């Protein structure tokens, strides 16, 4: 069965510092990996995805993520956090054989303090 783990319920970081939100996955076959962000009372906004190719993926708002096949990880990173980055972040995975069904992690709340 496919699964996604986000081991941290909350990540706290000071504005201007680098941030990392962790994600590991378990699938059979090649993964398609996604990061979404959810602001309060809003839908999910797409940040970035890995399908194939370069392991370092760059996305919206200065975020990037690195696909690591050996560690089955897809951690989200940003060099310099902003207070406005504070939100709930979801990692998700699917595979070509899974009819597009996205399996989501439980989410990580990012709190950036001024």
Partner 1 sequence: DAGVIQSPRHEVTEMGQEVTLRCKPISGHNSLFWYRQTMMRGLELLIYFNNNVPIDDSGMPEDRFSAKMPNASFSTLKIQPSEPRDSAVYFCASSLAPGEFGDTQYFGPGTRLTVL
Which residues contact partner 1 (rule: CB under 8 A)?
32, 34, 36, 42-46, 49, 51, 90, 94, 96-102, 104-107
Place of tokens 């979404």: 36
Q: Assess contact for 21 and 9: CB atoms under 8 A.
A: no
Nearer to partner 1, 19 or 44 (CB): 44
Least distance between partner 1 and beta carbon 46 (Å): 5
Least distance between partner 1 and beta carbon 74 (Å): 13
- In angstroms, rounded to a whole number, what is the distance separating the alpha carbons of residues 24 and 16? 26
Q: Which pairs count as long-range contacts for 50-57, CB under 8 Å and 24+ apart, including other chains? A: 50/74
Nearer to partner 1, 13 or 76 (CB): 76
> Facing residues of 78 across strands?
19
Least distance between partner 1 and beta carbon 27 (Å): 12
Nearer to partner 1, 70 or 99 (CB): 99
Q: Assess contact for 111 and 14: CB atoms under 8 A.
A: no
């Amino acid at each position: 069965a496919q699964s996604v783990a986000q081991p941290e319920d909350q990540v706290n970081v000071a504005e201007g510092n680098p941030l990392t939100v962790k994600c590991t996955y378990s699938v059979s076959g090649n993964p398609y990996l996604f990061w979404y962000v959810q602001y309060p009372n809003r839908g999910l906004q797409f940040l970035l995805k890995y399908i194939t190719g370069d392991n370092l993926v760059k996305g919206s708002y200065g975020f990037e993520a690195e696909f690591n096949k050996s560690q089955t990880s897809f951690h989200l990173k940003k060099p310099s956090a902003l207070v406005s980055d504070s939100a709930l972040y979801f990692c998700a995975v699917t595979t070509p054989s899974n009819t597009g069904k996205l399996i989501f992690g439980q989410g990580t709340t990012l709190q950036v303090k001024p």
